[in-house]
Amino acid sequence: MNIKNYLDSTYLKTAHQAGLDEKENNKVVTKFIAEAITENFKLIMIRPEMVALAQKMITDAKSTVLVGTVIDFPEGSSTVENKLEEAKQAIEDGADDLDFVCNYEAFKEGDIDLVKNEVLQCTQLGLDHNKVVKWIIEVAALNDKEIIQLSSLIKNVVISNFKEEEYNNVFVKSSTGFYKTEDGLPNGATVETIIMMLENASPLPIKAAGGVRTYDEAVNMIRLGVKRIGTSGAKAIADGEDSQQEY
**Identified catalytic residue from 72, 96, 97, 99:** 99
99 included as an active-site residue: yes
Is 173 one of the annotated active-site residues of the chain?
yes
The answer as to whether 247 is a domain residue is no
Confidence at residue 229, expressed as pLDDT on a 0 to 100 scale: 98
- Domain hosting 101: range is 3-238
At 24 the pLDDT is 97
Is 243 a member of any domain?
Answer: no
Instruction: Determine the Cα–Cα distance for residues 234 and 16; give it in Å rounded to an integer.
Output: 23
Q: How far apart are CA 240 and CA 215, in angstroms?
A: 5
Low-confidence ranges of the chain (pLDDT < 50): none
Quick one: pLDDT at residue 138? Answer: 97
7 lies in a domain?
Answer: yes
For residues 103-127, one letter each, b for 16 or more C-beta atoms within 10 angstroms of the residue's C-beta and e for the rest, the string is bbebbeeeeeeebbebbbebbebbb
Residue 183 confidence (pLDDT): 75
88 flagged as catalytic: no
Q: What CATH number is given to the structural domain containing 119?
A: 3.20.20.70
Residue 245 belongs to a domain: no
**Domain-embedded: residue 163:** yes
From 42, 83, 131, 173, active-site residue: 173
- 115 occurs within a structural domain: yes
Q: What pLDDT does 246 receive?
A: 66
Q: How far is CA 54 from the centre of its chain?
A: 17
- What distance in Å separates the CA atoms of residue 87 and residue 81, rounded to the nearest whole number? 10
Residue 206 lies in a domain: yes
pTM summary value? 0.97
What angle is formed at CA 188 by the lines to CA 184 and CA 191, rounded to 5 degrees? 100
Q: Is 209 among the domain residues?
A: yes
The total number of structural domains that make up the chain: 1
> Interior CA angle at 119 toward 117 and 124, to 5°?
100
Cα separation, 47 vs 49, whole angstroms: 6
Check residue 182 and give its pLDDT: 82
